[in-house]
């Protein structure tokens, strides 16, 4: 795919995400590579088009690897040579300058990652009868082909084209290896043969099964665009990986039936990438008519952690909410910990879903009240926020929770009881 087109598509995706969701200024609040991670890894699971493109191209390589001839394969072999068929590693071959862009992209897949040839590492040879696997030239045991691991022995072998099945012979229950050398071996070469035999000792063949290729990233061993995509994301964007315990929380926030725009807001907040006064300052976006200080108290700068957790008003909201849920807590130092405390205090999975719904509703309602206070002369009153949380969480629970519906007054009385129905 031409770089220009990829950039354009990504631009449209980003504008949709940051413009469509939030309105107003189009700030890309979170790195695109993070947005594209799976939800379980702290992303939004948005597909990056260039990596999708590479994964689709890799599928062609997989199909060229599989046995069987087809007209399209014959055409490509006639045009580009027979090294492209049944061969994983193309890194040693020159990309033809006359090839189409599609073909050049396919040829350059080997070098997508700087650190390794990901295609070679993603494919493994699964031995059956050993009859279609080259003993010396295919990587089927160890980290490289045996011709690379044992170059001396390879050069001395009488049968360099042998298959595994040719050399491995069954005697009763045992498998033995028969080699043939061009001359008598020196002692140090005999030592190499001992090493080679040790490596081969665990090998057994299944005579009724054909050898085949297996796609390592997929549990079923069959190539899938999705598994190739996930592999590329992991390899290319490894520096954006979260700590395990943080990633777990990002994974859990989606386990709530809150509306996805609400969860996406919580997600953005956990990264501390929402347009608080302090975050706008950091990015040099000055909103002159907005007060610099927190709407919930006097004289404090509006940071995310203050507005949502440590502001006296926010604390009143949380204490009210926890009292309502029947959970006793001390306000922790972070929203992550608060999330864990709440999640851990639910009696079962249904209640947990409901509690997480209320956690999202609380963040959402605080933010709404804050915006209405700044932009629409609304008030930022803990009591009103708590009422709002009870109301929206009740509405969401009716729409989305898989429990028997409750009346509003039942919900405001004891949500834990309603969630157990
Ligand atoms: Zn405050």
pLDDT for res 369: 96
Over residues 178-197, the mean pLDDT reads 95
Q: What is the pLDDT of residues 258-300, one digit of tens each?
A: 999 999 999 999 999 998 988 888 887 766 665 578 999 988 9
Q: What is the pLDDT of residues 341-358, one digit of tens each?
A: 999 998 898 899 999 999
Cβ-Cβ contacts under 8 Å for 248 (sequence gap 6 or more):
none
In the reported structure, the alpha carbon of residue 310 is separated from the centroid of ligand 1 by a whole-number distance in angstroms of: 7
In the reported structure, the alpha carbon of residue 277 is separated from the centroid of ligand 1 by a whole-number distance in angstroms of: 12
pLDDT > 90? residue 338? yes
- The predicted model scores a pTM of 0.74
Q: What is the pLDDT of residues 290-337, one digit of tens each?
A: 557 899 998 899 999 999 999 999 999 999 999 999 998 889 999 999
pLDDT for res 290: 57
In the reported structure, the alpha carbon of residue 293 is separated from the centroid of ligand 1 by a whole-number distance in angstroms of: 8
The model's confidence at residue 21, banded by pLDDT at 50, 70 and 90, is very low
In the reported structure, the alpha carbon of residue 303 is separated from the centroid of ligand 1 by a whole-number distance in angstroms of: 9
pLDDT > 60? residue 103? yes
In the reported structure, the alpha carbon of residue 290 is separated from the centroid of ligand 1 by a whole-number distance in angstroms of: 15
- Residue 165, SS3? helix
The model's confidence at residue 240, banded by pLDDT at 50, 70 and 90, is confident
Cβ-Cβ contacts under 8 Å for 42 (sequence gap 6 or more):
34, 242, 246, 247, 250
Chain centroid to CA 357:
24
pLDDT for res 242: 83
Cβ-Cβ contacts under 8 Å for 244 (sequence gap 6 or more):
none
pLDDT > 70? residue 180? yes
pLDDT for res 124: 92
pLDDT for res 416: 87
Closest CA to 249 of 325, 332, 343, 328: 343
In the reported structure, the alpha carbon of residue 421 is separated from the centroid of ligand 1 by a whole-number distance in angstroms of: 38
Per DSSP, helices labelled H in 327-406 are 335-344, 349-375, 382-400
Over residues 37-45, the mean pLDDT reads 88
Q: What is the pLDDT of residues 52-83, one digit of tens each?
A: 999 999 999 999 999 888 999 999 999 998 88
Closest CA to 390 of 353, 351, 354: 354
In the reported structure, the alpha carbon of residue 392 is separated from the centroid of ligand 1 by a whole-number distance in angstroms of: 23
Whose tokens are 């027979």? That residue is 82
Over residues 97-124, the mean pLDDT reads 88
In the reported structure, the alpha carbon of residue 306 is separated from the centroid of ligand 1 by a whole-number distance in angstroms of: 6
pLDDT > 60? residue 40? yes
Instruction: Classify the C-alpha dihedral 291-297-298-299 as positive or negative.
Output: negative
Phi first, then psi, for residue 394 (nearest 5°) are: -65, -45
In the reported structure, the alpha carbon of residue 322 is separated from the centroid of ligand 1 by a whole-number distance in angstroms of: 20
- Residue 379 and residue 296: Cα distance in Å, rounded? 9
Residues in the chain: 421
pLDDT > 60? residue 172? yes
């Amino acid at each position: 795919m031409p770089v220009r087109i990829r950039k354009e598509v990504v631009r449209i995706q980003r504008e949709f995400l940051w413009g469509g969701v939030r309105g107003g200024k189009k700030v890309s609040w979170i790195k695109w590579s993070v947005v594209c991670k799976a939800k379980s890894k702290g992303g939004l699971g948005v597909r990056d088009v260039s990596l999708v493109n590479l994964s689709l191209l890799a599928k062609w390589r997989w199909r060229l690897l599989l046995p069987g001839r087809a007209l399209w394969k014959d055409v490509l072999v006639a045009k580009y040579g027979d090294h492209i068929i049944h061969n994983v590693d193309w890194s040693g071959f020159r990309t033809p300058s006359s090839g189409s862009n599609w073909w050049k992209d396919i040829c350059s897949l080997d070098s997508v990652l700087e650190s390794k040839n990901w295609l070679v590492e993603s494919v493994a040879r699964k031995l059956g009868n050993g009859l279609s696997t080259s003993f010396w030239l295919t990587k089927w045991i160890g980290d490289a082909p045996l011709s690379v691991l044992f170059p001396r022995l390879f050069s001395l072998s009488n049968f360099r084209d042998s298959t595994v099945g040719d050399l491995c012979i069954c005697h009763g229950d045992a498998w033995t290896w028969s080699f043939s050398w061009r001359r008598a071996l020196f002692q140090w070469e005999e030592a190499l043969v001992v090493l080679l035999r040790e490596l081969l000792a665990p090998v057994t063949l299944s005579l009724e099964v054909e050898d085949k290729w297996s796609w390592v990233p997929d549990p079923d061993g069959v190539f899938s665009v999705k598994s190739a995509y996930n592999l590329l994301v992991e390899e290319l964007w490894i520096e954006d990986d979260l700590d395990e315990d943080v990633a777990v929380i990002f994974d859990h926030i989606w386990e709530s039936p809150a509306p996805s725009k609400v969860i996406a807001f919580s997600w953005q907040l956990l990264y501390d990438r929402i347009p608080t006064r302090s975050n706008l300052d950091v990015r040099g976006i000055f909103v002159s008519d907005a007060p610099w200080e927190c709407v919930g108290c006097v004289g404090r700068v509006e940071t995310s952690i203050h507005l949502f957790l440590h502001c006296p008003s926010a604390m009143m909201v949380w204490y009210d909410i926890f009292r309502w849920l029947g959970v006793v807590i001390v306000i922790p130092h972070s929203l992550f910990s608060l999330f864990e405390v709440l999640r851990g205090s639910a009696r079962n999975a249904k209640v947990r879903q409901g509690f997480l719904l209320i956690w999202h509703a609380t963040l959402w309602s605080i933010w709404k009240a804050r915006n209405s206070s700044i932009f629409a002369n609304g008030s930022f009153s803990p009591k009103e926020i708590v009422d709002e949380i009870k109301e929206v969480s009740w509405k969401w629970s009716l729409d989305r929770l898989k429990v028997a519906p409750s009346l509003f007054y039942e919900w405001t009385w004891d949500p834990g009881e309603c969630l157990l129905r």
